[in-house]
């Protein structure tokens, strides 16, 4: 007979955890914004999480949420920085063409080529 899956695992899309396996879940929040859920599991079927364990998890949860938010923010900044570098490179190349070319027509053709 197969093990029943814990209902929270179904909601979160997690696999292969039995309903009788000890687990506790803590929301990762900053203010009212929910950033995720921290799940803590035990392989010991007879383990229980004390109120002190839960209190510690709740005290760590905002720090984990802030770290997660900062990591996402850093990733966004890094990708935006790459986009800005590409634009700067394009403007630099256009400026170099202005210096090298006598007429505007070849420069405009190259600008169209660079932008598209």
Domain assignment of residue 35, yes or no: yes
**Per-residue tokens: 80:** 């935006």
- pLDDT tens readout for residues 42-73: 877 777 888 999 999 999 999 999 998 888 88
Tally of CB atoms within 10 A around 55: 10
Q: How many domains does the chain have?
A: 1
Domain assignment of residue 2, yes or no: no
Domain assignment of residue 12, yes or no: yes
The whole-angstrom separation of Cα 71 and Cα 69 is 5
Domain that holds residue 32: 7-115
Domain assignment of residue 1, yes or no: no
Domain assignment of residue 53, yes or no: yes
Beta strands (DSSP E) in the chain are 23-30, 33-41
How far the first Cα of the chain sits from its last, in Å, is 61
- pTM for this entry: 0.54
Closest CA to 107 of 33, 99, 28: 99
- Provide the percentage of residues in the chain whose pLDDT is more than 70: 75
């Amino acid at each position: 007979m197969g093990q029943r899956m814990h209902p929270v695992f179904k909601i979160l899309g997690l696999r292969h955890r039995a309903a009788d396996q000890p687990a506790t879940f803590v929301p990762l929040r900053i203010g009212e914004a929910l950033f995720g859920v921290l799940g803590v599991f035990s392989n010991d079927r007879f383990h229980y999480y004390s109120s002190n364990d839960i209190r510690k998890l709740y005290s760590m949860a905002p720090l984990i949420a802030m770290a997660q938010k900062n990591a996402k923010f850093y990733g966004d900044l890094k990708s935006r920085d790459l986009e800005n570098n590409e634009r700067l490179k394009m403007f630099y190349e256009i400026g170099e063409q202005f210096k090298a070319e006598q007429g505007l027509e070849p420069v405009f053709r190259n600008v169209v080529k660079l932008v598209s």
